[in-house]
Amino acid sequence: MSDIGKLKDKLLFETQKAFYDERGKGARYRMTLVGVEYIENELGEKAHDIEALAEWMKEKGFIEDIEITQDEFTFKASIRNCCLKGIRDSFDEKEMQPLSCPIGNMFMNAIEGENGLSPELMPIDIDGEYCGLNMAKFGSSDVVED
């Protein structure tokens, strides 16, 4: 990674960490749209297509690979070598969960745009070159059985 890339990663980590230090864990709920405007500007309506989003991220080098599984209430993605891994590693070194995941935010936005369910990103599973994104899809009253 270039010195500029290292500086950007460090600055993004320090910014998120400062926000966390001031606001605590609640700060993560203020960062759920980080990255969404970018992806919508780049992909337009395709930003709400989970498969198109995943392919575009691979083509552009934002992620090396991704495996997605989902059902009516959950979304899971195993992402290999994300471009934000350096920031994630900085949190991991401090034994902290990343405060925000712009890649996860982009998928949450796609899920909401695709089916109207509002997902929530659960804690990120960190395993070497992989990140496990798990999201709980929240449903409206019509998905709750009596």
What range does the domain containing 111 cover?
A: 3-143
Residue with more model confidence, 87 or 27: 87
Judged against a pLDDT cut of 80, whether residue 142 lies above it is answered with: no
Give pLDDT, residue 139.
Answer: 62
Measured between alpha carbons, how far is 1 from 16 in angstroms, rounded to an integer? 21
State pTM to two decimals: 0.85
Angle (nearest 5°) at CA 109 between 36 and 101: 60
Give pLDDT, residue 1.
Answer: 73
Measured between alpha carbons, how far is 122 from 136 in angstroms, rounded to an integer? 7
Number of domains in the chain: 1
Mind listing the pLDDT tens digit for each residue in 40-63? 999 999 999 999 999 999 999 999
Cα atoms in the 13 Å half-sphere on the side-chain side of 5: 6
- Domain CATH for 139: 3.30.1380
